Structure 1
Amino acid sequence: MALHGMPILFAGFAFFVFNLFLMLMSHQAYGIWDPPAVIGLCDSSVRVYGYKCHEINVKTQDGYILGVTRIPNGRSASGDNVTRTPVLLQHGVLVDGMSWLMNKPEQNLPMILADKGFDVWIANTRGTRYSRRHTYLQPSQSEFWNWSWDELAAYDLPALFDYVHNQTGQKLHYVGHSLGTLIALASFSERLLVDKLKSAALLSPIAYLSHMKTALGVVAAKAFVGEVGKMFGLKEFNPKGEEATRFLRYVCAHPEVDCYDLLTAITGKNCCLNTSTVNLFLKNEPQSTATKNMVHLAQTARDGVVAKYNYGNPSDNLIHYGTVKPPIYKLSDIPPKLPLFISYGGQDALSDVRDVEQLLDDLKLHDVLKFTVQFVKDYAHADFIMGVNAADVVYNQVYKFFMNHRF
């Protein structure tokens, strides 16, 4: 797909550029791999507020070991023998589970849900700092990074769902943001996960990416797609690495790109972030992903469909899929009685209103009693996870939705 004849940048890459620019401007330093001490979310962000917290490892079928943070109850829990419904939170691309914990407990979704009686599980996607292990591969090996969001949908989410379901003996609720919504929709469309799922809340959903509106995104998309082989020879896409830094400088040199107002230019005009939230974000993000994952997201934007990774020529696709073109995820195949909550923003330049409307059209036959849509006129992409008023605007609605579909 194109905008005024130019390719459109996928959401994850645009968010990367924003993250990287802020990191450079603030002179933050971050090791590529194996820093001296990686402090888990429990110690850095949860126990300090009086919550119980556990760090858990979950192995995927293809051998990745995912770090998961569990907040089993709220601060005022009266006992450990109370049955609490599990809820799994899945972050977007180039960030990790810390992205849910940028504000104080009364303002961040995991602790709000824990205080309301849920058993909260926070996922960390493969390749991010808490999920850089494998049963036999190392992050220094290219094969460790041979995956895209197809594998997140086919392996990461099923492993997490299976583990939480087996540990709790219950079906779970799910919350995804940005890429966390795309991989969930892809899984649901193939009837994965749904037998273990009570309901799903999708915040700032990403499926179609044809209407992103930012000059920086257009320039970066053209450059990234054209230069990916030369500029990113390593399989790991490390936003804080030398190659990515060079690339950012190249993009920002274009006269039509304003790199001094990136937050508004890329995510849209976020209404509700404060300085302390942004500062904490700068200390923790962005995170690595696979270059193949970034290319797959670019394909999603370029082709205007939600499809599996395109290997670039019919013969390779035939080997992998048995067809010359990658199979399409038919989102209309999502079970119509699966309870879905979708919340999207009128100012979101990544999850554009028109793209969300295309997703909603795919779901037009969904059971109306199982389908809730919230439109937040003033919200942009980052407001859904870091907005200081998100508790009142969005999270209360998520809680009500979960309560309405608790059986």
Structure 2
Amino acid sequence: MAYLWKLITLLVIFFSAKEVAARTKLYSDNEQNGICKLMVDTQGYLCEEHKVTTEDGYVLSMQRIPKGRSGETADRPPVLLQHGLLMDGISWLLNSPNESLAFILADNGYDVWIGNTRGTNYSRGHTSLTPDDSTYWDWSWDELAAYDLPATFQYVHEQSGQKLHYVGHSLGTLTAFASFSQDKMLNMLRSAALLSPIAYLGQMSSFLARSAADIFLAEELEWLGLNEFNPRGEAVVGLLEVICQNPNNNCSDLMTSFTGKNCCVNSSATDIFLQHEPQPTATKNMIHLAQMIRGGKIAMYDYGSTEENNKHYNQPTPPEYKMASIPANVPLFLSNGGQDLLSDVKDVQTLLDSLDDHDRDKLVVQFTADYAHADYVFAVNAKQVVYDPLMAFFKLH
């Protein structure tokens, strides 16, 4: 283990300075070429770029598709799409218009809004900090639930004058569960569709992810000063190479090793995906998820000692998010897959058990045996399998 951390230290020190210059140019280019210009205008849809500032100062980009290809203005309620971990809003736009959820919703008359969490390429702004400041990266999904999601909800609500439907994938479901359990945003919500729901992680079956939780994402990374977790950065690539030395980890197909065997992802979509994803997040966010895998609870970030937790929470252990606290009358559509190694079937069942008292007519549960994690965003048949039932659920609410 000592040798491992010596190697990690050298990798981080060697590559961190080199990455800064490359990132500076990349983010400058991104500011000039937003998601609308890159991914929506080219498909013949009207698209608007928006900015929203969170209570703690992060400036997030949002995209709005107010009309379908027909040119008719949306006559159905707004829908907010929230991406998963190491992704951004482009994930809803990678397939053809007939296969991508954002375009499908717009063509069905919905006012479509796409969110991008802090730290991703199009949400790098802050009222006083820059991404080169370590303080900029001092957050986990606790802050996404407490600040990012409420800010985007409020913005869409104010712009549209209506309550909204919500669609989250992966981490976008966890932040919603956490917020809803604390009675946030529910006055602005019509219904929520949660795809590949991430809540409990203690039984996650991805050996690679579990291995990462023990080593790759260990708290020592933060101690080493790796504030930004950039999957494209050479420091993280070097760390991944260390993990892949374990013969139990199959690194020849990282997506399958992490997410499960996706049944229906077009290889051409994977090529486009790699042009835009994966996206950065905070190392603290990755540590928080690792804590959930190791501990099996949905709790706030653990600062590692009774003293530090008392400073932040006035109690020796982090407070838990209680899924049973989500009001029983909130309309929920949950969809999980039998091949998903991140949203594991056993963990999803634990979540459903915690929602046992939910109103039966307000909870729809869909299970697709051959779907894995990425199928919910990239599968060529997702419209028929998931999105059509999802829109039918929206029409009921």
Give the TM-score, by structure 2 length: 0.91
Q: Name the residue aligned to 1:342.
A: 334
Judge conservation of contact 2:219–2:287 (CA < 8 Å) in 1: no
CA drift at 1:241: 1.6
Say whether 1:390 aligns with 2:382: yes
Deviation at 1:317, TM superposition (A): 0.9
Q: Is the 8 A contact 1:51 1:74 kept in 2?
A: yes
In structure 1, C-alpha distance between the alignment counterparts of 2:171 and 2:70, rounded to whole Å = 33
Pairwise CA distance, 1:322:
1.0
Q: Shift of the alpha carbon at 1:231?
A: 8.1
What is the letter of the counterpart of residue 23 of structure 2?
A: I
Q: Which residue of 2 aligns with 1:311?
A: 303
Structure 1 partner of 2:260: 268
Shift of 1:238: 1.1
CA contact (8 A) 2:221 2:283 kept: no
Residue 23 of structure 1: aligned partner: none
Write the distance in 2 (CA, Å) between the matches of 1:227 and 1:185. Answer: 25
Gaps of 5+ in 2: 1-20
8 Å Cα contact 2:217/2:286 also seen in 1: no
Tell me by how many angstroms 1:237 deviates: 1.0
Q: Is the 8 A contact 1:232 1:291 kept in 2?
A: no
Equivalent position of 2:357 in the other structure: 365
Q: Give 1:159's aligned amino acid.
A: A
Aligned residue among 52, 62, 81 for 1:58: 52
**Counterpart in 2 of 1:402?**
394
Does the 8 A contact of 2:140 with 2:301 survive in 1? yes
1:232 deviation in Å?
Answer: 5.0
Question: Is the counterpart of residue 222 in structure 1 residue 214 in structure 2?
Answer: yes
Match of 1:46 in 2: 40
The secondary structure found in structure 2 opposite 1:128 is coil
Q: Bigger shift: 299-308 or 119-128?
A: 299-308
1:77 counterpart residue number = 71
Aligned match of 1:353: 345
Asked whether the equivalents of residues 238 and 287 of structure 1 are also in contact (C-alpha less than 8 Å), the reply is: yes
Q: Provide the secondary structure at the position in 2 that maps to 1:130.
A: coil
Measured after TM superposition, the shift of residue 217 of structure 1 is 2.6
- C-alpha separation in 2, matches of 1:194 and 1:31: 41
Q: How does 1:2-401 map to 2 (within 5 A)?
A: 31-35=22-26, 36-38=28-30, 39-78=33-72, 80=73, 83-226=75-218, 228-229=220-221, 232-401=224-393
Q: 1:234 and 1:367, CA in 2 relative to 1: closer, same or farther beyond 3 A? A: same
In structure 1, how many angstroms separate the alpha carbons of the residues matched to 2:222 and 2:148? Answer: 29
| Aligned counterparts of 1:90 and 1:232: Cα–Cα separation in 2 | 31
| Separation (CA, whole Å) in 2 of partners of 1:152 and 1:285 | 19
Hey, what's the Cα distance between the residues in 1 that align with 2:190 and 2:199?
22
* C-alpha contact (below 8 Å) 1:231/1:243 kept by paired residues: no
Alpha-carbon deviation of 1:254?
1.4
Q: Per the alignment, in what secondary structure is the counterpart of residue 86 of structure 2? A: coil
Does the Cα contact within 8 Å between 1:32 and 1:240 map onto a contact in 2? no
Q: Contact between 1:32 and 1:241, CA under 8 Å: does it hold in 2?
A: no
Amino acid in the other structure paired with 2:59 = I
d(CA) in 2 for partners of 1:303, 1:393:
33
Instruction: Tell me which amino acid in the other structure corresponds to 1:193.
Output: M
Q: Distance in 2 between matches of 1:159 and 1:248?
A: 34
Q: What amino acid is the match of 1:334?
A: I
Distance 1:163 1:356, change over 3 A: same
3-state SS of 1:205 partner: coil
State the alpha-carbon separation in 2 of the partners of residues 209 and 33 from structure 1: 35
> Residue 341 of structure 1 aligns to a residue in which SS?
strand
Q: Which residue of 1 aligns with 2:18?
A: none
Contact 2:222-2:283 at 8 Å conserved across structures: no
Q: Deviations over 1:8-33 (max 9, x none)?
A: xxxxxxxxxxxxxxxxxxxxxx9423
Task: Measure the CA separation in 1 of the matches of 2:222 and 2:191.
Answer: 43
Q: Map Cα deviations across residues 68-107 of structure 1 (whole Å, 9 max, x no partner).
A: 01001111133x4x64310000001111001111100000
Q: 1: CA distance between counterparts of 2:90 and 2:395?
A: 25
SS in structure 2 opposite 1:131? coil
* Whole-angstrom CA distance in 2 between matches of 1:366 and 1:33: 48
Amino acid at match of 1:348: D
CA contact (8 A) 2:216 2:240 kept: no
CA distance in 1, matches of 2:306, 2:50: 41
Q: Please say if residues 237 and 290 of structure 1, whose CA atoms lie closer than 8 Å, have aligned partners that are also in contact.
A: yes
Shift of 1:172: 0.2
Residue identity matched to 2:382: A
Q: 1:227 to 1:367 in 2, by over 3 A?
A: closer
Alpha-carbon RMSD:
1.5
Deviation for aligned residue 1:166: 0.7
What secondary structure sits across from 2:64 in the alignment? strand
1:136-172 residue CA offsets vs partner (Å, 9 max, x unmatched): 1111001111110000000001000111111111000
Q: Secondary structure, in 3 states, of the residue corresponding to 2:29? A: coil
Deviations 1:197-254 (A, max 9, x none): 0000000000011122233233322212446337852311111222201111111111
Contact between 2:60 and 2:117, CA under 8 Å: does it hold in 1?
yes
Deviates more, 1:172-181 or 1:239-248: 239-248
